[in-house]
Amino acid sequence: MCCAAVAFIGDYSQRVPDAVAIRAFEALVAYGVLHGYIKANYILYGHRDVQAKSWPSPGDALYSAMQTWPHFGQQDTQRAPMGEKGLGLL
């Protein structure tokens, strides 16, 4: 698989998703890695990393939290776009 996208539905500009939603995301990614759908060395991107910076995104709190998650990496998206190497989120 070249890429995957996951969305947390809601407004996470002031708060992060609840623990159940975060665990569901973690379980989905773990399943994908375990079964070979996602490479073990995937890169996690946020929506704003692969879209124009001016694109509105109701996820400031979630994006801040994501930056502490394993595999998060703001790579140069001109050289390594989500579709080539990463797992997109938000």
Q: Is the pLDDT of residue 7 over 80?
A: yes
Give the pLDDT score at 85: 45
The one-letter code for the residue type at 42 is Y
- 81, 49, 71, 18 alpha-carbon torsion, rounded to 10°: -140
Using pLDDT thresholds of 50, 70 and 90, give the confidence band for residue 81.
very low
Question: What own/partner pairs with CB < 8 Å and gap ≥ 24 does 26-33 have?
Answer: 29/87, 32/1, 32/4
Using pLDDT thresholds of 50, 70 and 90, give the confidence band for residue 64.
very high
pTM above 0.75, yes or no: no
| Cα three-residue angle 88-14-12, rounded to 5 degrees | 30
